[in-house]
Homo-oligomer: A and B are copies of this chain.
Amino acid sequence: MQAREESHATFRRLLDAAGEVFATRGYRDATVREICGAAGANVAAVNYHFGDKAGLYRAVLRETHRAAQEPDPSLLDPNADPQDRLHAFVHGMIRKVLDQGRPSWHGRLMAREMVEPTDALDIILEESIRPSWGVLVGIVSQLLGQPLDAAVTVRCAMSIVGQCVSQRHCRPVMERLGIAEPRDAAALASLAAHITQYSLGGIERARRLGTDDSGPEHTGGHP
């Protein structure tokens, strides 16, 4: 028992150290030696436990995605108020992306994986991203009301996602511009509230414009 615990300790330390290093340096820049050094393990430990560097990376991605799972019940209830559902979705995503909790490197890792995908992207795509996307599209459809052009729904959903993920993707730039948000729970909640409200306004306007999505006459011209 204790042996097993002990034996898995190295496994876990490796996983944690790898998450941090991969998130900080990226897959290529991260070296197995640095990871093992940080985990207090031998270089060969990676090979023993995960096969190779890529296997360790895959394990880290699976782990971070598993740890980030928080199936908020209100999201899944189609009868709940759609505005509440949207807020819950946005708040969850902002937390995933910016929270400094246990897997603090989750957001950074995902950002890298999106910009520079590896083979491992397919795993989290199917297990995590696609289901979430489906939920969001459902919420947006509710808010748009009458069945509109699917492209409108998709674009509105992407507008929401874009506001959330850019908080992570653009963070290095935002920090340099002095506009980075704090990352405590209150600030995150406040940010989520803004994005929710902003999006409700955006969706409402999209609803009013109907299926007309090229609309240069409403934007380009003035009276």
Set B83, B169, B198: member contacting A115, Cβ < 8 A: B169
24 contacts across the A-B interface (CB closer than 8 A): A26-B26, A26-B116, A28-B28, A84-B219, A84-B222, A111-B169, A112-B116, A115-B115, A115-B169, A115-B172, A130-B177, A155-B194, A158-B167, A158-B179, A161-B166, A162-B167, A163-B163, A165-B166, A193-B216, A193-B219, A197-B205, A199-B202, A201-B205, A202-B205
Q: Are A214 and B200 in contact (CB under 8 A)?
A: no
> Can you list, as one digit per residue, whether each of A114-133 has a CB less than 8 Å from chain B (1) or not (0)?
11110001100100011001
Tell me if A195 counts as interface (CB < 8 A to partner B).
Answer: yes
Set B162, B163, B215: member contacting A193, Cβ < 8 A: B215
Residues of chain A in range 55-104 having any CB-CB distance to chain B below 8 Å: 81, 83-84, 87
Q: Are A205 and B200 in contact (CB under 8 A)?
A: yes
